[in-house]
């Protein structure tokens, strides 16, 4: 805790004065560009690797950047956060970002390793679609590749899951919202983006195509 307390003091003394004007402008309103959903992992710092500042990103984090499908009776924070960001803040982009060496996805790949953690176990079962795809199509690749593929498949699966949320469906139908999938590599700092044309993650270009329907042909090619 000492490290955090010292950090707060340094922030108030050295950093806040540089941002004072920005924070004054943001004091009673926000208009973030994007809702970014990523993992709780301490090594993933969205504002650092996107170089966004205060007020730019509305960030929601949980273990494994998982978005449960919409259920009307569900009062979870995930649903409420998405609804607020899309319907009230009217973010233009909804980004789901997975990352390398994700502990949550390791738990998905090896469910037996989280059996003693009932809540984690139950939460991670929501990434079962991604696990099945990897086990079905990539069962013979080395473990580290399997993990990377699982992390990326999970981002793609969550891009589908988020579309079950009525507020997202409406914003997409009105063409007021775009969905994007990213993969952040902790050791290199590289970010790749889901390309709906190829169904793969590719290095970032000047523009990133929004995530559309999954191409069937490329999946069949992969399986061969
Ligand atoms: Zn993670």
Domains and CATH numbers, the chain: 30-101+150-223 (3.40.1050.10)
Ligand 1 centroid distance, CA of 20 (Å): 33
165, 170, 175, 179 alpha-carbon torsion, rounded to 10°: 0
Ligand 1 centroid distance, CA of 51 (Å): 20
Ligand 1 centroid distance, CA of 59 (Å): 15
pTM of the predicted model, to two decimals?
0.90
Average pLDDT of the residues in 73-99: 92
Ligand 1 centroid distance, CA of 207 (Å): 26
CA–CA distance, 143 with 130 (Å, rounded to integer) = 15
Average pLDDT of the residues in 186-199: 94
Ligand 1 centroid distance, CA of 111 (Å): 15
Ligand 1 centroid distance, CA of 179 (Å): 20
Q: Give strand pairing partners of 37.
A: 60, 96
Ligand 1 centroid distance, CA of 152 (Å): 12
Cβ pair 57, 31 in contact under 8 A: no
Quick one: tokens of 206?
């000047």
Ligand 1 centroid distance, CA of 114 (Å): 14
Specify the higher pLDDT residue, 172 or 219. 172
Average pLDDT of the residues in 196-211: 83
Ligand 1 centroid distance, CA of 97 (Å): 10
For the chain, the average pLDDT equals: 92
Angle in degrees, CA 184, 95, 150, rounded to 5 = 50
């Amino acid at each position: 805790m000492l490290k955090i307390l010292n950090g707060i003091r340094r922030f108030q003394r050295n950093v806040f004065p540089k941002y004072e004007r920005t924070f004054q402008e943001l004091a009673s309103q926000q208009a973030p560009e994007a809702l970014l959903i990523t993992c709780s992992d301490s090594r993933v710092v969205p504002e650092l690797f996107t170089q966004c500042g205060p007020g730019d990103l509305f960030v929601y984090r949980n273990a494994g950047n998982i978005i449960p499908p919409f259920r009307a009776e569900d009062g979870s924070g995930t649903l409420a956060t998405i609804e607020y960001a899309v319907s009230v803040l009217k973010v233009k982009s909804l980004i789901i970002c997975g990352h390398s060496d994700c502990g949550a996805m390791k738990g998905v790949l090896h469910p037996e390793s989280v059996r003693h953690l009932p809540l984690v176990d139950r939460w991670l079962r929501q990434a079962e679609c991604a696990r099945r795809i990897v086990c079905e199509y990539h069962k013979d690749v080395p473990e580290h590749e399997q993990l990377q593929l699982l992390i990326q498949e999970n981002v793609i699966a969550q891009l589908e899951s988020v579309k079950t949320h009525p507020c997202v469906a409406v914003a997409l139908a009105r063409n007021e919202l775009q969905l994007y999938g990213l993969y952040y590599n902790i050791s290199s700092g590289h970010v790749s983006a889901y390309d709906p044309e190829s169904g793969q993650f590719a290095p970032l270009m000047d523009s990133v195509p929004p995530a559309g329907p999954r191409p069937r042909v490329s999946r069949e090619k992969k399986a061969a």
